[in-house]
Structure 1
Amino acid sequence: MDLDNDAKTFAEQGYIGPFTLWEPEEMTAWWKTQRKALLDPANNARKVFDNPVNYDRHLDIPALSKLITEPEIVRRMQSIIGQHILCWRTEFFPKNPGDSGTGWHQVETYAIGETSEGMLAATEHSPGVPMELTCWVAFTEAAKDNGCMKVIPGSHRQWRYDEHAPMSWNSAARDNSFFGYNYDDIKIDKDWDPDQQDVRYLEMRAGQFFIFTARTIHGSAPNISRRQRMGFAIRVVPTHVQVYGGMTGFEEFGHHFELDKHGSVLVAGEDQYGLNRMAHENAWGEPFTPVTKVAP
């Protein structure tokens, strides 16, 4: 694991990877077990958010609780944003046969949709160090024909979208949208065409992952195959970032999300700031085990 090279590549591109966490056969067997767990009524009764969007299932599915602290992932994150890291959200990204591509978008504070207030607020700033990262894990093969992720390398250095501009959610929106939000409406330069840039398609085998900042302009291809693509996003911040500060809930994707059961999880280092409500164990009473050893 060449962490120095990871940090250098990330500074240039705004992403690193793909890397291999597990071989495809291992991931396929693991994911088959997790699909059953996600349908288990006992687990669904413990869900943090009672709505169709499967946010934060690491808080009630034990195998997902372990996944967010996998050293192979966490060490690479530490090389980019520092030793002390919280997981503030996870989410599934299925793309079924016939689904359209996800439109290009760019965020940092996650001021998405109906509110111009961000969900994340940094209390410290270090030049060149992002305030958030996402690890996108391929639970199935992610190829160009079934909707793999796509990015524009280096785009994290310039804002092309105004994430604080309000957008309206449209349940019927498909092409060029992000699950009902059309980011074309908030492009700073309406004539700038992301499709004419240096677009990279991140094809991955099941069990691989890549890490990026959401400031890197990203989207996904349409699924023109007969295979489902399933990705899982692990979203993290340094411990100096306040999560959902002062919010009791939020509106997103046409749903209301209550935050009374939400807690961030320490995945590495120590929480030296105490800014956030923390979850120290999952819904089954199993403690989260952070990576405490300092990365070399």
Structure 2
Amino acid sequence: MDLETDRKTFAEQGYIGPFTLWEPEEMTAWWKVQRKALLNPANNERKVFDNPVNYDRHLDIPGLSRLITEPEIVRRMQALIGPDVLSWRTEFFPKNPGDSGTGWHQVETYAIGETSKGMLEATEHSPGVPMELTAWVAFTEATKENGCMRVIPGSHRQWRYDENAPMRWNGAARDNSFFGYNYNDIKIDKDWDPDQEDVRDLEMRPGQFIIFTARTIHGSNPNISNRQRMGFAIRVVPTHVRVYGGMTEFNEFGHHFGLERHGCVLVGGKDEYGLNRVLPENAWGEAFTPVDRTVA
């Protein structure tokens, strides 16, 4: 693990990877177990959010609880944002045969759609250090044909979208949409065409992952194959970032989310700020074990 190279590459590109967490056979077998757990009514009763979006299933699915603290992932995150790291959200990204591509988008505070303010608020700022990261883990093969992610390298250094501009959700929207939100409506330069930039398709085998900042303009290809693509996003922040500050609920993607049961998970280091509710264990009483603070 060459963390210094990771830092340099991230500064240039806004993302690093793909890296191999597990070999394809291991990930395929592991994912079968997790799918069965997701269908278990005993787990569904413990969900933090009672809606179809499936946010934060790491809080009730033991396999996902352990995945978010995998050192191969967390060490690289620590190298980019510091030793103390909170996971504030996880989510699934399935793309079924025939699904359209996900339109280009760029965020930082996650002020998406109906939210009146960002979900993330940094209380400190360090030049060149992002306030959020996402690890996108491939549970299945991700290819250009079945809808792999694509990015515009280096785009994290310039705002092309005004994430604080209001957007209306349209559940029927497909092409060039971010799950019902059209980021074309909030482009700062209406004449700028992201498809004319240096676009990279991030193909991955099952068990591989990338790490990126959501400020890096990203989207995905349509699934023109007969195979589902399944990805899992682990979203993290340094402990100095306030999550859902002052919010008790929010609306997103056509659903309502109450935050009464939400909590962050310390996946690396220590939390010396105390800005957020941190859950010590998952819904089954299994303790979360953060990676220590040592960063090479």
The answer (yes or no) to whether the contact 1:83–1:268 under 8 Å persists in 2 is yes
For residues 294 and 267 of structure 1, the distance between their equivalents in structure 2, rounded to whole angstroms, comes to 13
**Structure 2, unaligned stretches of length 5 or more?**
none
Question: Does 2:264 match 1:264?
Answer: yes
1:3-22 maps to which residues of 2 (within 5 A)? 3-22=3-22
Structure-1 residue corresponding to 2:81 = 81
Shift of 1:116: 3.4
What does the per-residue CA deviation read over 1:46-101, in whole Å, with 9 as the maximum and x for residues that have no partner?
00000000000000000100000000000000110000000000000000000000
Structure-1 residue corresponding to 2:130 = 130
- Give the aligned residue type for 2:278: M
- Give the aligned residue type for 1:273: Y
Shift of 1:278: 1.0
- Give the aligned residue type for 2:239: T
Structure-2 residue corresponding to 1:254 = 254
Question: Does 2:238 match 1:238?
Answer: yes
For residues 114 and 238 of structure 2, the distance between their equivalents in structure 1, rounded to whole angstroms, comes to 26
**Structure 1, unaligned stretches of length 5 or more?**
none
SS of the residue corresponding to residue 75 of structure 1 reads helix
Structure-2 residue corresponding to 1:58 = 58
TM-score w.r.t. length of structure 1: 1.00
- Give the aligned residue type for 1:189: D
TM-score w.r.t. length of structure 2: 1.00
For residues 72 and 173 of structure 2, the distance between their equivalents in structure 1, rounded to whole angstroms, comes to 37
The answer (yes or no) to whether the contact 1:153–1:198 under 8 Å persists in 2 is yes
- Give the aligned residue type for 1:88: W
SS of the residue corresponding to residue 171 of structure 1 reads coil
SS of the residue corresponding to residue 184 of structure 2 reads helix
Structure-1 residue corresponding to 2:146 = 146
The answer (yes or no) to whether the contact 2:270–2:293 under 8 Å persists in 1 is no
Structure-2 residue corresponding to 1:42 = 42
Identity %: 83
For residues 272 and 4 of structure 2, the distance between their equivalents in structure 1, rounded to whole angstroms, comes to 25
- Give the aligned residue type for 2:226: R
The answer (yes or no) to whether the contact 1:148–1:202 under 8 Å persists in 2 is yes
1:167-186 maps to which residues of 2 (within 5 A)? 167-186=167-186
Aligned residues: 296
For residues 203 and 19 of structure 2, the distance between their equivalents in structure 1, rounded to whole angstroms, comes to 11
1:70-219 maps to which residues of 2 (within 5 A)? 70-219=70-219
What does the per-residue CA deviation read over 1:22-59, in whole Å, with 9 as the maximum and x for residues that have no partner?
00000000000100000000000000000000000000
SS of the residue corresponding to residue 246 of structure 2 reads coil
SS of the residue corresponding to residue 233 of structure 2 reads strand
For residues 287 and 171 of structure 1, the distance between their equivalents in structure 2, rounded to whole angstroms, comes to 38
- Give the aligned residue type for 2:171: S
Shift of 1:293: 4.1
SS of the residue corresponding to residue 33 of structure 1 reads helix
SS of the residue corresponding to residue 267 of structure 1 reads strand
For residues 272 and 177 of structure 2, the distance between their equivalents in structure 1, rounded to whole angstroms, comes to 38
Question: Does 2:268 match 1:288?
Answer: no
Structure-1 residue corresponding to 2:27 = 27
For residues 50 and 115 of structure 2, the distance between their equivalents in structure 1, rounded to whole angstroms, comes to 21
For residues 295 and 187 of structure 2, the distance between their equivalents in structure 1, rounded to whole angstroms, comes to 38
Structure 1 runs (4+) deviating above 3 angstroms are none
For residues 261 and 255 of structure 1, the distance between their equivalents in structure 2, rounded to whole angstroms, comes to 16
